[in-house]
Structure 1
Amino acid sequence: MLRKLESGKMGSSNLGWLRSKFHFSFAEYYNPNNMGFGVLRVINDDLINPNTGFDMHPHQNMEIISYVVKGELTHGDSMGNKGKLKRGDVQYMSAGTGVYHSEHNLGKEVARFLQIWILPDKEGHKPNYGEYKFEWNDRKNKWLHMVSSNQGEAVVKVNQDINIFTLELDERSVIDYCVKADRQAYLVQIEGKSNINGIILNERDAMEIVEEDIKIKADALSHFIIVEMKKA
């Protein structure tokens, strides 16, 4: 089963300093029929103006992953962690029993990042933070496995049975992705334009994939992320 989600029909917000696309119900966008996809609870596609950002605020019992698309993101938290991420880098925070954090764009250009929230396998995990600066070429015309469960093989590990992959695909190039029985995946066309099993995706569109293999053909240089998980 494939289902296309157009970015123009997603929830949105414009606070001036922050402009967001909400893939699922979040903040002022509420749709009781769009509360997530399996254990994937949130994907926010955020644009943050320079010298602005999210001041210290709390989270609890959520696995939070940030993927930087453009610009830079500066992190701080109540555990004493500090970090700066740029294009293609990943940040992971297990909020667990409770943590405060801040995310700011201290750069000179508008920053874009995907904020991804995953429901944990149980409540009450010890809070944890990590980041990884991947080489860009590691996703060039091949799937880069960035995030997995604690039992998985990716360098970034979370408290849930999920896998997150990214890919940059050259124009006119083709690649496959297999979603096995009892599994599902959520794909975001971060940049570019593609044809997936005959369905056209434009920049910031998304696709739900349930127990089906896909063939992706890039109609332009394209950048993707996939969150794969057990079927709900």
Structure 2
Amino acid sequence: MLKKLPKENMGTSDLGWLQSRFHFSFAEYRNPKNINFGCLRVLNDDLIHPETGFGTHPHSNMEIISYIVDGEITHKDSMGNSETLRRGEVQYLSAGDGIYHSEKNLHKSKDLRLLQMWIIPPKAGLPRLYGSHKYEEAQRYNKFLNIVSSQDGNSPIKIYQDVNIYVSELDKELEFEIKKDRQVYFMQIEGCANINGVTLDFGDAMEITCEDKITISPVTKSHVLFIDMPADLTC
């Protein structure tokens, strides 16, 4: 089953320094019928203007992954971590019983586009984790790059929840097998592609359930991200 989610139907916010598109209920966007998809609680597509950003704020009992689409992000947190990441690079934290952090675009002239995903952990109170990985474009060009996995997975970035997050920049058709009792949340980051015959433009998304594979046929050069997770229902 394929459920296309056009970007025009998503929640939005404009704070001047920050423009956001909310895939699920978040901040002032409240939709009781759109709280989550499986263990995926938040996917925000944020555009942060130069020399601005999120000041120090707390998180707890959530696994947070940031994927940098363009520009650069500078992270600082209460565990003593501080670093700057750029396009295609990934930062993550499992907040456990509590962590404070800030996320800033310190560049003087370039916008930062950031995808931030919140994954519900398998249980509360897990030990805090923080890390990042500086992936190269060649690792995701015309192939699926597994940027995040569970502790039992093969990605350099491992979180507690049973998920796999993949990205690709592609200009040829690719197929991905969906295993039994799994579902996928798919996002078209850049470009345009047909996903199992359904066209997604940049910013659109799709819920994929009860399917055994994804066929991605780019109409233009495409940049995509998808999250493979346990299914909510038995097909």
Q: Which TM class, normalised by the smaller chain length?
A: over 0.9
C-alpha separation between the residues in 2 aligned to 1:151 and 1:198?
A: 33
1:6 aligned partner: 6
2:119 aligned partner: 118
Give 1:1-232 correspondences, 5 Å limit: 1-107=1-107, 108-170=109-171, 173-212=172-211, 213-232=213-232
Which secondary structure state, in structure 1, belongs to the residue aligned with residue 53 of structure 2?
strand
Which secondary structure state, in structure 2, belongs to the residue aligned with residue 137 of structure 1?
helix
1:171-203: CA deviations, max 9, x gaps? Answer: xx1111122221001010000000112211000
C-alpha separation between the residues in 2 aligned to 1:5 and 1:136?
A: 27
Runs of 4+ in 1 over 2 A off after TM superposition: none
Count of aligned positions = 230
C-alpha separation between the residues in 1 aligned to 2:182 and 2:44?
A: 23
C-alpha separation between the residues in 1 aligned to 2:192 and 2:78?
A: 40
Which secondary structure state, in structure 2, belongs to the residue aligned with residue 215 of structure 1?
strand
C-alpha separation between the residues in 1 aligned to 2:71 and 2:97?
A: 31
1:44-93: CA deviations, max 9, x gaps? Answer: 00000000000000000000000000000000000000010000000011
Which amino acid in the other structure matches residue 165 of structure 1?
Y
C-alpha separation between the residues in 1 aligned to 2:152 and 2:215?
A: 28
Q: CA shift at 1:211, angstroms? A: 2.8
C-alpha separation between the residues in 1 aligned to 2:174 and 2:9?
A: 27
Q: CA RMSD in A?
A: 0.7
Alignment check: 8 A CA contact 1:66 1:115 kept: yes
TM-score between both structures, scaled by the size of structure 2: 0.97
- Runs (5+) with no aligned partner, structure 1: none
TM-score between both structures, scaled by the size of structure 1: 0.98
Q: CA shift at 1:124, angstroms? A: 0.3
